[in-house]
Structure 1
Amino acid sequence: MISRFMNLSLQSKLMIFFIVIAMVPLIFLGVFTYQKSSEIVKEQVSEQVLEGLIQTNKSLSFFHKDIEQLSNYIYRNNIVQEVLKKSKTRSDLEKYEDNTEIKNLFDIVEGSKNWKLNIYIIGLNNDRYFTGDFLPNEYDQYFNNWGIFRKANEANGALIWDTHYTIRNVEPQEVVLSAGRLIKNTQTGQPLGFLIIDIPENTIAEIYQNSSNYSNQTFLLDEDGYVISSYPSKATVGLKLKHHALDDFLNNQRGYLKTIWKSKPYIAIYDTGEDTHYKLANFIPEGEIIQKSSLIGYITIILAVIGLIFVFWSAYLFAKTFTVPISRLIVLMKKVEKGDLTVKFHSLFRDEIGILGERFNQMIKRIQSLINESVEKQRLLQEAEIKTLRAQINPHFLYNTLETMSVIAKQKNVKIISDLAVALGDMMRYSIKKNQDLVVLKEDLTLLEHYLFIQHIRFQDKFNIRCNIKESSKELLIPPLLIQPIIENAITHGLEMKMGSGTLEINIYDLGENLYIDIKDDGIGMENNLLKLIQEHKAVSHIPTHTGIGLINVMKRIELYFGSEYGVKIESEVNRGTSVHIKLPVIREGSGKIDKDPIGR
């Protein structure tokens, strides 16, 4: 599979690559967009439902206040006060009349309210008045230290609220919340009895059951997490809500969170009443909310398809734009393979392909330059071979002649002639036999010693020699016959023509990755125009002929060996002298830095 793909054309591979690259983020973007939009919808719905819960809690708060106002009205009603002050031993007729008056009061109260309430007045004089069909036994035979009566006594006349708890809900609870207060004589403050207002669960449920358009489950909780009322399911009324989100409900004022209800994902939205401190919690199925974002999903799919079409078209256009200039470059390369070096790549842009085309043009120029260099190398090689052949004319005859001269000089006790013959013989033997690309510096220095000895005999006290050669540099490699031509040039064209004696200074040292050879004389120097011609390799008339290798030849050899980074720098001033600075790379035996013949053999 991979092999087949790699064998496709570049245009096809680019199209496939960019389509795949574009599809992956598009798919992720589509999924992300849908999920994000779903989250936004969930958040918006949660905010809307939360706003509804806030309004519902305000209604519950109003309901609370209305119950409080109702209890105040009954508490301070003159009829109630007078009836509860009466003796429990009064006549039955009087009790009947009192009962009638309280019933009329209840009728007035119930007529002014839309809510169904059960009102009980429990007198300390054993009077019992109520609005329902019967009086619960726990109110008839009440205990002062039990439940709502204990709380009412502790409140000392203030209204208190009591939630009806249960351990297990065997049958639906009708009354879930009660308000109660101790009725006291408004003049003396003496207790007269209790006012109990029972609130049925249906009365509370009517306040909040229509607060949402979803098939949700709503709970009204007290401060301890017990269910006061719920809708539509009433199974948990009176019980403590068993759900892991309860801690969030109890510890926070309002909010919403994702949760699980009946093994399905739900969103729980809750709010706390400012006055009642009741918790109103709404569980809404997440699926119903997501259905509202289905339109966004369809739009996302349509946009993804449109995006894929655009990506396909863009990939084709890009691949075409990218491969056409490459195809042109391949055509030009084939022409170069056939030997046509006049081709040139033209690009309108400075992008990578344009730069590649420029590099191609530079490569063609470099090839042409290398061809020219190769021709020059061949010419230098031929010259060197011719000069070598000249130098090798009957070498045995020359060696034998020099040895004969040395023997005769010794016999005649002319030591200087013997030394000259030996030195000249060693020089000829070194120049003829040294055909290596690189030699150890100390070998070339031995040749230089012979040469300077001969020149010293020739010129006597014409010049002094100062040598400063670093010991570690003597083991480095250099091209053979590199220093002697520079010394010869300094003596012949500088010191020999100077009036009086002069000084020749030779400094050789290595520093870092470079080897430096500095040769300085205080001879007659040279004119600027001549110096410029030498630096441009044009002063051919000044090349010495008696050594076979001149100054310019050395300069060219260094450039051919090591490149333009290395070479010869010449400084000269008329009547002040000349300084030649040679820079070479540090090469040690076995380093492998020069792995081919520099002149292309």
Structure 2
Amino acid sequence: MRERVKNRFRDLKIFYKVLLACLSMTILISLVSGGITYFIASKIVLNKTIEQTQETIHQLVDNYDAFMELMNYRVNTIAFNETVQEELREEEDEETKSLQTESYYSRARRVNRLLVQMFYSIQMEDIEIYGEGNRVYFCSANDTDKPFLENEDKLIESARNEKGGIVYYNDLEESGCIQVVKQIKDNLTMTPLGVLRIGVRTSALERIQKDINFGSEGKVLLLDQNNEIILGDHIELSKQAEELFTDWYGNFQYEENNETYQIVYAISEDTGWKTVGIFPREVITNSTSPVQLATIASVTTGIILSIILSILMSRMMSNPIRKTVGALKDVSKGDFSVRLEDARKDEYGELNQEFNHTIEQMENLLDEISESRLLNKEMEFKALQAQINPHFLYNALDTVSWMARAKGEEDISDLVTAVSKLLRISISNKEEMFTIEKELLYVKDYLYIQKTRYKNRFEVQYTIDNRILSHKVPKLTLQPIVENAIVHSVEMSSKKTMLHISGYMEGEDIYLEIEDTGIGMEKETLDHLLKPSKEKVNLKTTHTGLGLYAVDQRLKYLFGDDYGITATSVLGEGTTIKVRIKGEA
């Protein structure tokens, strides 16, 4: 399966490969960056929410403390009041008590008026003073009679144990109030005189937090110093308060009933009460919805832009390749005039330059091949002309040779025999390569005929290294060169000409030189012999001059461009033609 996917991807067009690569990379980057952004934003929102909640909780703690400070002020005002002190200090009999109770200005009446003055029905349920002599002073907005409290003894005992300190007693189950109690002591002797109790309404505490908003599902929990609930619903959190609320303030996550909550709390240093803010984590999730939508929008926009940019980039990278493929198709159909834009400076520009250079080389090579074929055609045509009824010519020449020999004309017989050999070799198609030794024999037959024709107008010298005799060269390599020397030197010169034919080795290469002492040639004539042009050149001979060029092209075709013919000529001194042939390994 993996190999199949790999092969399918390999066979995709460059456009789709680049497109898939760019899209994969940009989409991955967009998703990762979007996820990181959302995570960081959610973290910031969470921290900000917790920070704001902590500020709110601390403000609630300050408000609760301020409220209870007011209650403490009222308690202390009553407890240290001189009238209350005197009233509780004196032991009165029943008759004196009755008279003072009925008198408007009696201490008992003044104590009661003080309680009424300190009483505030919105905040308090009642105020009560327990004297040591079982005297009771009571003030309430609901009933004139003192209510029955089951925990009264515990309240009085807790105040006495505190020895003058203010005690906050959670009495919600019995009276529905928070009881604030304090032992009243003599200001001078510090002897106990009684106990003061104020019943604080929880509605007053609820009013403090009424403007606090933790969302539709958020809530506030108020625990006393014993982790009993003062305000809020009973939840399992309160049972674990001892383990959870270990610092003066903090926050943590809490799970209950498969729901996750964020808890933020603070503990009052004055009352020891714990103010706890509770809100579901969904509140934070909902608050991050705009961030989530913005992240999705930005990621989507980024993906769309990446798709557009990836398509553009894929086209930019694949279009030059598509043009190159189209150009190659045109070349395969034979159109070598096609060229690619090579002005670019990037790798495509370099590729196009190499493509254009290669096509130019191919075009030149094809021209050379075509020209070589034309030369071969011309030579074949000439060979065909020379092969008109060859057997008839062979038989005729043999007959002439025997007739001359029968009459004692040995020179004529040798000449005819040489012509017959020369003709037989030139029109034979059996061998394309001759050894240098055989090629020299062919040249000697040719020169024998020419010496017979030109009598004593030239002489021939041979300097041949025996090591090269067994090496092979294309048939008729030396004969056209020797013929060129005869035509351009012997024919044109009025004096006797020397021909020097030499052969030697340099390294692995073989060199054959034909040097004459004729009249030499002009550069224009020599260039035309080596590379004929279509323009007519004023040559002082009827010879076509194709022989040297044909030999040079054949050698280059067989051995490479480093091989072939080179020529030098000096007017009035002669011409030297050098043939370089690749030796056999």
Instruction: Please classify the TM superposition score into its range, dividing by the shorter chain length.
Output: 0.5 to 0.7
Distance, in Å, in 1 between the alignment partners of 2:510 and 2:65 is 109
Q: Which residue of 2 aligns with 1:249?
A: 245
Deviation of the 1:227 alpha carbon:
3.3
- Quick one: which of 133, 147, 163 aligns to 1:125? 133
Distance, in Å, in 1 between the alignment partners of 2:360 and 2:168 is 101
> Is the deviation greater in 78-87 or in 21-30?
21-30
Q: Percent identity?
A: 22
Shift of 1:345: 5.7
From 167, 170, 178, the equivalent of 1:161 is: 167
What is the match of residue 160 of structure 2? 149
Aligned residue for 2:317? 322
CA deviations 1:500-541 (Å, max 9, x no partner) are xxxxxxxxxxxxxxxxxxxxxxxxxxxxxxxxxxxxxxxxxx
Seen in structure 2, the aligned counterparts of structure 1 residues 315 and 137 have a Cα distance that, compared at 3 Å, is closer
Q: After TM superposition, give the deviation of residue 26 of structure 1 in Å.
A: 3.1
Q: Check whether the contact 1:128–1:140 (CA below 8 A) recurs between aligned residues.
A: no
Q: CA RMSD in A?
A: 5.0
Instruction: Determine the C-alpha separation between the residues in 2 that align with 1:551 and 1:246.
Output: 107
CA distance in structure 1 between the aligned counterparts of 2:228 and 2:361, rounded to whole angstroms = 91
1:115 CA drift (Å) = 1.0
Aligned length: 385
Per mean C-alpha deviation after superposition, the further-off stretch among 205-214 and 343-352 is: 343-352
Is contact 2:57–2:266 with CA below 8 Å preserved after alignment?
A: yes
Partners of 1:222 and 1:210 in 2: how far apart?
A: 21
Change (3 A) 1:193 1:350: farther
Letter in 2 for 1:549: G
Aligned residue for 2:507?
549
Alignment correspondent of 1:216 = 218
Is contact 1:347-1:357 (8 Å) kept? yes
Task: Determine if contact 1:174/1:200 at 8 Å carries over to the other structure.
Answer: no
What is the 5 A alignment of 1:468-507? none
* TM-aligned CA distance change 1:141 to 1:200, over 3 Å: same
Render the CA deviation track for 1:435-474: whole Å, top value 9, x for unaligned. xxxxxxxxxxxxxxxxxxxxxxxxxxxxxxxxxxxxxxxx
Aligned residue for 1:186, secondary structure, equals: coil
Q: How does 1:398-547 map to 2 (within 5 A)?
A: none
Q: Which residue does 1:286 correspond to in 2?
A: 281
What are the Cα deviations for residues 187-208 of structure 1, in whole angstroms up to 9, with x where unaligned?
Answer: 2322212223333433323322
Shift of 1:124: 1.8
Contact 1:57–1:273 (CA under 8 A) maintained in structure 2:
yes
Q: Which amino acid aligns with 1:136?
A: L
Contact 1:162 1:178 in 2 (8 A): yes
Partner of 2:429: none
Q: Distance in 1 between matches of 2:309 and 2:345?
A: 21
Deviation at 1:77, TM superposition (A): 1.0
Cα gap change, 1:363 to 1:263, in 2 (>3 Å): farther
Give the 3 Å change call, closer, same or farther, for CA 547–53 of structure 1 in structure 2.
same
Matched, 1:139 2:152: yes
- CA-CA distance at 1:278 after TM superposition: 3.0
2:117 maps to what in 1? Answer: 108
Listed as ranges, the gaps of 5+ residues in structure 2 are 141-145, 364-432, 438-465, 470-502, 512-582
Q: Which amino acid aligns with 1:139?
A: E
Task: Output the TM-score relative to the length of structure 1.
Answer: 0.52
Deviations 1:212-248 (CA, angstroms, capped at 9, x unpaired): 1523231123456x034222x2x35xx98135x8645
- Partner Cα separation in structure 2 for residue 18 and residue 346 of structure 1: 26
CA distance in 1: counterparts of 2:304 and 2:30, whole angstroms = 12
* Equivalent residues in 2 for 1:78-97, closer than 5 Å: 78-87=82-91, 89-91=93-95, 92-94=97-99, 96=101
Question: Does the 8 Å CA contact 2:267/2:273 hold for their aligned counterparts?
Answer: yes
Letter in 2 for 1:221: L
Q: 1:177 to 1:148 in 2, by over 3 A?
A: farther
Q: Is the 8 A contact 1:259 1:267 kept in 2?
A: yes
**1:310 aligned onto 2:318:** no
Separation (CA, whole Å) in 2 of partners of 1:552 and 1:90: 160
5+ long unaligned stretches in structure 1: 166-170, 369-385, 391-427, 433-544, 554-598
- The separation in 2 between residues aligned to 1:600 and 1:55, in whole angstroms, is 108
Question: What secondary structure, in the 3-state scheme, does the structure 2 residue paired with 1:188 have?
Answer: coil
Kindly tell me: are residues 550 and 314 of structure 1, through their superposed partners in 2, closer, same or farther at Cα, counting changes over 3 Å? closer
Residue type of the alignment partner of 1:93: S
Shift of 1:322: 0.8
Question: Contact 1:122–1:194 (CA<8 Å) still a contact in 2?
Answer: yes
